[in-house]
Chains A and B, each alone.
Chain A
Amino acid sequence: MPVTPVRHQAPQHNLLRYGTEAIAIAQRILTELLRRRRSLIFWAIFPAIILWLNGSILAERAQIPTAEAYANAAPATLVGAALFFSCLGGSVATVVAEREQQTLKRLFMSPLSGLSYFLGIFLAHGAIALGQSLVVIFLALVVGAEFQGNPFLAALIIALSVMAYVGVGFILGTQFARRTEDVNALVAAFGVPLLILGGAFLPTRFFPKSLLDIAQYNPVFHMNEALMAVVSEGEGLDSMGNHFTFLALFAIGVTVAGWLSYRRMVNVERRL
């Protein structure tokens, strides 16, 4: 074999390669989820129960028809509760489990790029979010709920919510959680107050002004309000633009921060 002096080569990555790798990562995460059937069932049951509880409480307390109550409860159930636990809790758990089992280091011994891994986790949780959205929409439609507004705008809000949750999940999973046991405590400590303050369980219109003032800084509040405005009230960007802008900026911000935290973690993990 002749020696051919080769310059330090850049990895032969292109868009197609990133795409293939990200799909492989997402496929693996989803296959693992499918294997753990119980987790998959819980991810489906959770939004169904929250939708039923939220819809029933709203119908009774606000004295509105069940269909309308479910139409109002669906956005908060989806972006406020379901996606929070699946996308934020799920991404924290994925990152922590990979670190704990050291499979992350094994992955980086392969030519897998860090970006593909990051995108793969987004993709997998996007697929879970899609499944949960379908469950919530289907159940709400079954009781006669009617959704209005631009479906593309609604899908964009859901996508930004997934992005925000996975971004935060990366920050928490790479910086604060070292073991699987840390995940629950972390998600509960950060998440539950944010969910309540975001109107996931109790509509924000019942909040006192002092809490509403604080809620303005809570991304969950803006996700709920934006999606509620589109699907329940049929509004467009012009009337809920401030919620949408906050959500978009937050999603982009935490994705960048999540990427930086992840890069830092990868550098540390490589040395172990």
Chain B
Amino acid sequence: MTHPAMTAPMLKIEGLTKGYGGPPRKRFWQRTSETRATEKSASATKNHLALDHLTLNLQPGEIYGLLGPNGAGKTTTINLICNLLAPDSGSITIAGQSVSEATKLLVGIVPQQNLLYNSLTCAENLNFFAQLYGVPKREQRDRITRCLAQVNLSDRAHSPAESLSGGMKRRLSIALALVHQPKLVILDEPTTGLDIEARYELWELIRQLKAQGVTVMLTTHLLEEAERLCDRIGIIRQGQLLREGTLEQLREVVQAEAIAQIDSPDEPAVLARAQALGWDIRRYGSGIALWLPEALDLRALLAQLDGIAIEAAALHPVRLEHIYLEITRKSYES
């Protein structure tokens, strides 16, 4: 296997900055050379920075998860990769080429919503996008057959998109993104609103893409999804990359072997005991979360909290949600 350092990234984002807003522009009859100059200088200081010097590298064939709260800049990043927006500064290259209309051929995009032509059949939807992506006519039929098979929709080839279930529509959306055989597939919250079976089917499909050597960029709010699928994860907030790495690398953020979730009517006593034991304390929702520096079973945990009224106690391994909350908490603090 080639060492990662020897391969060029499939997607390289460097110092990407994008802002929105800025002062309102004057009407053309109100504009003078002075106001124009003011507008020009003011455009550099936008009201809202959606991306602030974002730098990411996606290696060929990896699944990269981009996580972040709503408004973190994930969709703006995707719009920039798709050349729908121009960055204020920074650069994006896909397979060594600067983003342009030409690089759209290298990217397959699955937007958040299923943007399908409902009265067209699955095969017609695919045929339409094959034409737009310039798939040669002689190859179109084969590609459509293969894409439908890949997403398990062969038997629905001639069904109108509007007759499909939510999971099937999602799979058709993915097929539309694959019809031109892209090198990079971007999945924007692909499993939102899907039932668990459809979700598992989709995860399997994403794994198959990776097996075929396709690079996948995935944005999701489902941390379990990122945990199961992604080789590397990047966490962004307010347009800045807070941290990235493999799950193991990110795990270093949480200095604990396990997390104990405690519900107690006497919280001060729990907090005092945890402090005395040298355990870190966090609040996830209503209860108290104790970071246990060594693995304990429930009996041992309760023994440590002996004499304190406990309503409920549960032990969890350190999961991506704890890591994510810790990284975003630190960024809020800073």
Contacts and interface: CB of A to CB of B under 8 A. Distances in A.
Interface in B232-258: none
Given A5-B96, A10-B101, A21-B132, 18 more contacts: A1-B7, A2-B8, A3-B8, A4-B97, A9-B101, A20-B134, A27-B131, A31-B119, A35-B119, A102-B115, A105-B84, A106-B115, A108-B84, A110-B132, A111-B102, A112-B132, A113-B101, A270-B85
B8 A110 contact: no
**Which of A8, A101, A106, A108 neighbours the largest number of chain B CB atoms within 10 Å of its CB?**
A106
A106 B132 CA distance: 11
A31 B120 contact: yes
B79 to A, nearest CB: 7
Q: Which 10 A-B pairs have the closest CB atoms?
A: A11-B101, A24-B131, A106-B115, A35-B119, A3-B8, A9-B102, A6-B97, A270-B84, A111-B104, A110-B132
A151 to B, nearest CB: 33
Contacts of B124: 28, 31
Nearest to B118: A101
A1 B84 contact: no
B90 interface: no
Contact of A271 (B10, B85, B97, B120): B85
Contacts of A270: 79, 84-85
A8 B132 contact: no
Nearest to A269: B84
B113 interface: yes
B65 to A, nearest CB: 21
Interface of A: 1-13, 17, 20-21, 23-24, 27-28, 31-32, 35-36, 101-103, 105-113, 270-271
Contacts of A113: 101
Interface string B54-66: 0000001000000
B133 to A, nearest CB: 6
Contact of B117 (A7, A28, A109): A28
Contacts of A31: 119-120, 124
Given A5-B96, A109-B82, A109-B111, A17 B134 contact: yes
A12 B102 contact: yes
B129 interface: yes
A32 B116 CA distance: 12
Contacts of A36: 119
A36 B96 CA distance: 45
Interface of B: 7-8, 10, 20, 60, 79, 82, 84-85, 93, 95-98, 100-105, 109, 111, 113, 115-117, 119-120, 124, 128-129, 131-134, 160
B160 A11 contact: no
Given A102-B115, A271-B85, A107 B98 contact: no
Given A1-B60, A1-B96, A110 B104 contact: yes
A102 B10 CA distance: 28
Nearest to A28: B128
A105 B83 CA distance: 12
Nearest to B162: A35
A21 to B, nearest CB: 6
B113 A8 contact: no
A103 B120 contact: no
Given A11-B102, A109-B109, A270-B84, A1 B8 contact: yes
A11 to B, nearest CB: 3
B111 to A, nearest CB: 6
A1 B60 CA distance: 9
Contact of A9 (B97, B129, B133, B160): B97
Contact of A110 (B20, B116, B129): B129
Nearest to B137: A20
Contacts of A8: 98, 100
A27 B120 CA distance: 11
B98 A111 contact: no
Contacts of B129: 110
A247 to B, nearest CB: 31
Contacts of B133: 110-111
A10 B134 CA distance: 16
8 contacts: A3-B8, A9-B97, A28-B128, A35-B160, A102-B111, A103-B115, A109-B109, A110-B129
Contacts of A10: 100-102
A109 B84 contact: yes
Nearest to A266: B84
Contacts of B119: 31-32, 35-36
A106 B120 contact: no
A65 B60 CA distance: 77
B76 to A, nearest CB: 10
A24 B132 contact: yes
A101 B114 CA distance: 10
A35 B120 contact: yes
